[in-house]
Amino acid sequence: MVGAVSDGVDFKWNVSLCKHLSSAGCSSTHSSRSFQLITAAESEATYFFLFVFCDSGQLRKSRLKHSSMRLAAIVAGVKMFAAQQLNRATQLILICSLLWIEAPGLSMSSLVSSQTEDFIDWWQHAVFYQIYPRSFKDSNGDGIGDLQGIISKLPYLAETGITATWLSPIFQSPMVDFGYDISDYRAIQPEYGSMADFDQLVHKASSLGIKIILDFVPNHSSDQHEWFKKSVARDPVYENFYVWADGKKNEQGILQPPNNWLSVFYGSAWEWNEQRQQYYLHQFTKEQPDLNYRNPAVVQAMDEVLLFWLNKGVAGFRIDAVNHLYEREDLADEPLSGKTADPLSYEYTKHVHTKDLPEVLAMVQHWRQLLDDYSAKHPDGVTRIMMTEAYADLHVLMDYYETADGVRGSQMPFNFHFITDVDCDSDARDFVYNVEKWLIYMPRGHAANWVMGNHDNPRVASRFGSASVDAMNMLLLTLPGIAVTYNGEELGMEDYREISWEDTVDPPARNAGKKDYKKVSRDPERTPFQWSNASNAGFSTAAKTWLPVNPNYLGLNLAAQQEAARSHYKVYKALIELRKLPTLRRGRFSIEPLSRAVFALRRTLKDYETIVTIINVSAKEQLINLTDFINGPHKLIVEVAGVESTYNPGQALSSSALTLAPHEGLICKLIEA
């Protein structure tokens, strides 16, 4: 049963049995909650009631103080059971209800109401660690990361406290877009290894308590895929597997694309195929033709791909570019945006016919049903999950969770607001606003997620500044719900912006040309992982790596941070350990700007210590008074402090006069003054 919402976080209040409510000081009505008392069907109905706690759905309502009522109900029922005042049928009802009290269920921000038990599903409070395989670890000296390299570093992930990792594409590919152009959805890219290597990876990860999530790329395949080759040849089975259209002639009689649709990677989204004598759609590179999901055979083929990898033991999928799956059937031109005069720029038009069509939600819901059905048929206790990538309007993203009519889709529609909506110039109010708007719009019964970085955007240290790395990780890992970390962010790795044109391989950067490639290149955030100060940062023994290693690896590397008294890595590891606290797993949540420079968030759980995170996002020292925010004078005991902090774990601080250095973050527990 879904119940009270407080401070922007949803709780699930469990069903309880109650006897003699009046003697426990409980009433059958409540001024601020819609409570229902449902009598049992037995003759003892006068003694027992089931509470069904419901909520108005509005945030920031007064808290429901229900624990004494629940305790009274349980005690009364047990006493009657012991006195044998109940018949067998009602005894059974009581036993089942007591078991039901702690039954697991979904709840927003991955929090449950139980004060003593924790029934969060495995993914609802997990830290998902994104591995970019090509840059993680090279095991055979060819300069390219691979599966055996990942296997060799799984103990590192386990030691850090990671319990789930998702791999950027490892499928067979010509590597035009480095794995996002797939030529065989059921084969491993040879330079990454073999299917035997993958099986070993899943087995090793499982033995270490780590679940594997695969990057699934359904919008398009490679033009080297057999499906596309057969579609070009008009094979009856595959003729309509892709989006094909006739061209149109201009006033000069020159054949033109069917409409003005544009590629995300610059230029027309249409490419002429001489053999078939038609244009095909590609919303990304021309080597990535869009699949036609209006063809049921395509849907079936992709379902079979998902089932293939589920049977291999993966725990779910990250769905790439999901909001591009469908396009308007009549191929109408898209309206101009007015943002640029360049007719080949993706920003030239409003993408109302090629993104976020209603059919996308139906497909996401279809895949959710497939995953749920698979989980139900394989009762190993593991929920198979879906993470969806869509840079879209907030209202659209919320429908990915669940539509207005209650149909569920993605467990994790990625929340990119820390990437797209805040940066080094944002103040405390911007951070608070971007946290609260997600929680406010998120449907009840779902888990929030927070993505601080990925392979498509500049790293945290480069977006916010290296001095902010610890503070941003503190924010990420003390918010309610799911955290997503891109490999290397735990070290504070930085973008390598000085990659030469000759070494640049990213398709959008190559399309932009030598003059402008640095403005759009994603290569700087994809450089090899910096394991040590050995050659190539310990990533590879090759003479040349697929991308240059950032020269700062000599000082910024994992080995050095593991040995240092204080380091970004040690802060990150301490944060993951802290997340195991019941307060951070299922505690209530509130967040406020204390000034334009400082904001604080609070996690509270009855009978457990309150945890407070305070972050200074400014470049100046700040003196703050937390008394109002924490509801009275308390002492602060430092739990986690940053690399450059003057504070130490265990140190007692005053809540009324706390000094924070520029860009400092601090996590404390509260002690009564």
Which residues are part of the catalytic machinery?
Answer: 320, 389
State the Cα–Cα distance between residues 607 and 622, nearest whole angstrom.
Answer: 32
CA distances from 399 to 96, 443, 447 (A): 35, 9, 14
Nearest to 181 by CA among 227, 135, 116: 227
β-strand pairing of 482-486 with 127-131? parallel
Instruction: Dump the DSSP string for 501-565.
Output: TTT---HHHHHH-TTTHHHH--GGGGSPP---SSGGGGS--SSS-SSPPPGGGGTS-HHHHHHSS
Report which DSSP code applies to 566.
S
Report which DSSP code applies to 44.
G
Evaluate whether 657 touches 623 at the Cβ level (below 8 Å).
Answer: yes
Helix and strand element counts for the chain (H, E): 18, 28
Evaluate whether 76 touches 47 at the Cβ level (below 8 Å).
Answer: yes
Collapse the DSSP code of 177 into the 3-class scheme (helix H, G, I; strand E, B; otherwise coil) and give the result.
coil
502 contacts: CB under 8 Å, gap ≥ 6? none
Give, in degrees to the nearest 5, the angle at Cα 210 between 206 and 214.
95
Q: Token digits for 173? A: 């590919």
What are the φ and ψ backbone dihedral angles of 33, each rounded to 5 degrees? -135, 145
State the Cα–Cα distance between residues 322 and 649, nearest whole angstrom.
Answer: 43
State the Cα–Cα distance between residues 465 and 25, nearest whole angstrom.
Answer: 56
Give, in degrees to the nearest 5, the angle at Cα 97 between 96 and 99.
65
What are the φ and ψ backbone dihedral angles of 412, each rounded to 5 degrees? -135, 80
State the Cα–Cα distance between residues 338 and 331, nearest whole angstrom.
Answer: 21
Evaluate whether 220 touches 287 at the Cβ level (below 8 Å).
Answer: no
Query: What is the H or E stretch that residue 452 is in?
Result: none
Evaluate whether 644 touches 664 at the Cβ level (below 8 Å).
Answer: yes
Q: Token digits for 638? A: 């430092």
CA distances from 382 to 122, 192, 317, 364, 521 (A): 8, 27, 14, 20, 38
